Chain A
Amino acid sequence: MRNVCVIAGGQCQWGVRQATERDLFQEAGKACFEDNKIITNKDIDGLIVGSAFTERCSFQTHLAPLVAEHLGIKPKNICARVELLCATGSTGIIMAAALIKSGEADVVMVIGGEKLYTPQRWEVNYTALAASDHDFDTGMGLGLPPPAFAAVAKQHMKLYGTTEEQLAMVSIKNRRNGLNNSKGQYKEEITLEVAMNARAIVRPLKLFDCCPVTDGAAAIILAAEEKAKYLTDKPLVYFRGSAQASLHNMSANMPSWTTWEALKIAAQQAYNKARVTPQDIDVAQTHDCFTISEIIEYEDLGFCQKGEGGWFIEEGKSDFGGQVPVNTDGGLLSSGHPFGATGIRQGIEIIRQLRGDAVRQVEGARIGLTHNLSGLMAAHTVLIYGRDLE
C-alpha cells in the first residue's frame, strides 16, 4: 500500500455569501491551487466533491462533473460526490486516501461546500429536517440540532457537574482563535458576560453555544508520496489513519447521550491505524457544532477522563500553551459550518499547523487530529495526520 500526503489546501470566504453553490466551489478550488503553485488543475486525476444540501438548496445533483468542468479538471480515475452530512468533507478525504493507497488514483482533489442561505429563510431550517430519520424523528420536529444537543448538555451537567460557564468558555476560546482567520465567518471576540447573557436557543444552549448557518467551500489535494515529493516544495504532511463508526441513527436507539460510544470506537481505530495515542496529539480540530460537543469530544477522544471535559476547558488545557490546542482556527463556532466543507477546513488547518505556516501556530506540532460527528450524534469520523510516518 502506498503512503498518502496532503499537498495543498484552501477555502473561499465563508459566511453569508452573495454567490451560488458553483461560485463557491470555483473560489475554493482556486484558493487551493494558490496554496501550492507547483500543482495545477491538469495534475488532478481524481475529483471527490462533498455536499449535503445540494439537491435541496441548489436543486443540483450529479455535482462532481459540474465542479470538474468549472475548475478545468478532467478526472480520469474518479469523479464522484460523497455525503455524510456534517462529516461529508472528512469522508471525502478518507475516500481519496483509500483510492490513492490502493493505486486507483494518484492525485485527488477533495472539494466540499454548501450554499445554505436561500431567498426564503425557512427553507434551510426545513431542509435540516431531512437530516434525521424522516419517518420517525422528522415528524417530531427533530433535525434542527439544538433540542438534541440541549438534551445532551442537560444530562452532562447533571451527571458530571459541567457548568454553563464552562460551555461558554469553549465559545470564547474558539472565537478568540478565529480572530485572525481571514476566511472565517466571525472575527469578533466575545466575553463571558456576553455569552452568558445571550438569548436562549434551547436552554442551556444560548446563541454563542451554537455554530451558525454558513455558505462556503474548501478544497484539499492528496497525492501518493512519490508524486507528492515533486508536486510541492513545502514539508510533506502524511495521512496517517482514519476511522468512521456508527452505532445508531434514530434518536430512540442512541446507546448513550453523554458518552459517544461511536466516537470512542472511531478514535481507537484511528489511533491504532496511525500508531499513536491520545497523548501524542499536538493539535486537534474537533466538531464544535455546539459548545457541549467539544467538551464531550475531549473526553471521548481520550484527552481527559470521562466527565472532566468541563474542567479541561476551564483549566486552559485545550488552549494555546495547554495539553492539546483544539480548534486553533476558530472551529465551527467561529469559522462557520458549511457541512460539505467543514472536514476539509479542519484538514487545511491541520496541514498548516504541521507544515509550520498556520496563522496561529502550535509550536513544533508533528501530529494532528480532526473529528466530525454527524446527524443525531449518529456517526463519528476521526482522521489523523502527521509530519512523519512513524
Chain B
Amino acid sequence: MMGMMEGKYAVTMDLYPLESKEWNRIYPFYDHLKEGRLTTTVCKDCGKKAYPPRVICPECLSENLEWVDLPTRGRVLVVTEEEVGAPLGFKTPLIHAIVDLGELILFTKMTGVKMGELKEGDEAKLHVFPVDSVPVDGKKGTVIWQERVFYAFTKA
C-alpha cells in the first residue's frame, strides 16, 4: 500500500536496492561503498570479473568468488542532460555520463554539475551518498530503520 494508506511506505517500490545482509547476498558491495570503494566479484576458478557483482559466476557458474576493487576515477566519454521529465526522486536537470574507468564503462548519474558544465574528456570520480533508510518490521510492532547508500560520479 502506498503513502496515504495508514502511513505505510512501499519499500518494494523504492528506487534503491535492499542492501543489508538480511536481504541481499552481495551486501559487501554496499559496505565497500560506505568505505569509498567501488568493488565487484571475480571468479577464483575461471578469472571472470563481472559487473554488477554476483553470487554465481556468469561464465563458469562457480560460487567461488572474491571481492576486488574497481577504479573510482575515469574519463567522461559522453554527457547527456535531461532538461525536462526527470522521474520522481531525481532533480532536473538530470545529468548522466558514459564514464570510462579503464576496465569498465559505466553509464552513470553525475552529481554536483550544472547544465553545460561537464564536458567530454573531463575526469570523473566516485561519489557515495546516503539515500532513504528502509523500515523493517521488528518484533512486537517495532520498526528498525536500515541505513543505505548509493553512488554516482562527480567531476574530479
What's the Cα separation between A214 and B89 when bound, in Å?
23
Which residue from B83, B85, B86, B98 sits with its C-beta under 8 Å from A151? Answer: B98
Residues 132-168 of A at the B interface (beta carbon under 8 Å): 133-144, 146-148, 150-151, 154-155
| Stretch from A13-21, A233-241, A250-258, A297-305 that touches the partner | A250-258
- Expressed in whole angstroms, the minimum distance between the Cβ of B26 and any Cβ of chain A is 9
- Measured CB to CB, the nearest residue on chain B to A207 is B84
A154 near B94 with CB under 8 A, answer no
| Stretch from A29-37, A187-195, A196-204, A260-268 that touches the partner | A196-204
Known: A136-B52, A142-B96, A202-B83. A122 touches B150 (CB 8 A): no
Q: Does B69 contact A (CB under 8 A)?
A: no
Please name all residues of chain B whose beta carbon is closer than 8 Å to the beta carbon of A140 when the two chains form the complex: 96, 107-109, 152
| Stretch from B59-67, B74-82, B134-142 that touches the partner | B74-82
Q: Does B105 contact A (CB under 8 A)?
A: yes
What's the Cα separation between A200 and B93 when bound, in Å?
12
Known: A139-B15, A140-B108. A202 touches B82 (CB 8 A): yes
What's the Cα separation between A141 and B131 when bound, in Å?
13
| Stretch from A3-11, A123-131, A319-327 that touches the partner | A123-131
Which residue from A133, A143, A202 sits with its C-beta under 8 Å from B52? Answer: A133
B106 near A251 with CB under 8 A, answer yes
- Measured CB to CB, the nearest residue on chain A to B30 is A135
Residues 91-106 of B at the A interface (beta carbon under 8 Å): 94, 96, 98, 104-106
B89 near A126 with CB under 8 A, answer yes
30 contacts between A and B (CB under 8 A): A126-B88, A129-B15, A137-B107, A139-B16, A139-B109, A140-B107, A140-B108, A140-B109, A140-B152, A141-B82, A141-B86, A141-B109, A143-B87, A144-B86, A146-B82, A150-B80, A151-B78, A151-B80, A151-B107, A200-B83, A201-B83, A202-B80, A202-B81, A202-B82, A250-B51, A250-B52, A251-B106, A252-B105, A254-B107, A257-B98
New contact pairs (20) apart from A122-B88, A129-B87, A252-B107, CB-CB < 8 Å: A133-B52, A138-B15, A139-B109, A139-B131, A140-B108, A141-B82, A144-B82, A146-B82, A147-B94, A148-B107, A150-B80, A151-B96, A155-B78, A200-B84, A201-B82, A201-B83, A203-B80, A203-B83, A251-B107, A252-B52
